[in-house]
Copies of this chain bind each other. A is one copy, B any other.
Amino acid sequence: MKLTVVSPLIGEDFAENVRKEVAAWAGPGVEIDVVRITRGTASIESEYDEALAGPGILEQVKLAAENGADGVFITCFGDPAVHAAREIVDIPVVGGFEPAMLTALSLGEHVGIVTVLQNVVPMIRSLTRRYGLTDRCRSVRVVDIPVLSLEEPDELLTRLHREARAAVDAGEADVIVLGCTGMIGVAAELQRRLEADDVYVPVVDPTGAALLWLQSQVRLGVRPSRATYMPPPAKERNI
């Protein structure tokens, strides 16, 4: 099985970090490569950035399918261009939001998200409503660290712990989802700190959740429905 991760950022650094991370989530016989877009933005922290990244993402998804990928993960929690991508390829495509959230729903009653900046909170709430999950997820908190500064794990963990703790203590969350795919390699430690405080609360890493999700879908033999994701009609496209 061959999976492709599309980094929707123009910089090579994030793609490189993702490349180091994904090996941990590849089962036996699973090969995961990481590509990045060339037209777009340095990070995605607004609906504006997300819209600018769209064409570049779709180009990479199409390429991945042509190159024989069995599934594609667009590594951003805002699920940018995910639904558009499902229209144009015949393989499973996921972003960071959907697999993490659906995974979390089976782990506890209320899901709390901790993301980067206040700027993306309305986008996340919009996704929650779009996917019909508002009854089970109402809490979205922020660490107030930009995407490109997430690499200092100490400060990130301190703030994740503070916000996750607050969400659990306020009764808003029974499960924590990391609300940015740039929060790499911190889920297990956050989970450990939360349990050390009090009781066990699972923390869902969106990268792991997405890559395992794709592997499961490939093994189940399913891909997005053509009743929802119809192929776009032929026409002039100048992009």
Contacts and interface: CB of A to CB of B under 8 A. Distances in A.
Interface of A: 10-11, 25, 27-29, 38-43, 45-52, 54-55, 57-58, 81, 83-88, 94, 98-99, 102-103, 105-110, 117-119, 122-123, 125-126, 129-136, 146, 148, 168, 173-175, 187-188, 191, 199-205, 208-209, 212-213, 215-217, 219-233, 235-239
A98 B106 CA distance: 7
A3 to B, nearest CB: 14
A57 B99 CA distance: 29
A202 B175 contact: no
Contact of A109 (B42, B58, B88, B122): B122
A46 B81 CA distance: 12
B45 A55 contact: no
A217 B208 CA distance: 10
B238 A41 contact: yes
Given A28-B27, A225-B200, A238 B109 contact: no
B202 A46 contact: no
Contacts of A57: 51
B131 A132 contact: no
Contact of A28 (B28, B106, B220): B28
Contacts of A238: 10, 38-41
Given A108-B224, A238-B10, A232 B48 contact: yes
Contacts of A126: 83, 109, 130
A204 B233 contact: no
A118 to B, nearest CB: 6
Nearest to A200: B226
A222 B107 contact: yes
Contacts of A42: 235-237
Contact of A174 (B54, B84, B131, B228): B228
Contacts of A200: 223, 225-226
A130 to B, nearest CB: 5
A40 B51 CA distance: 13
Given A84-B48, A122-B109, A200-B225, A220 B205 contact: yes
Contacts of A51: 51, 54-55, 57-58, 81, 84
A236 to B, nearest CB: 4
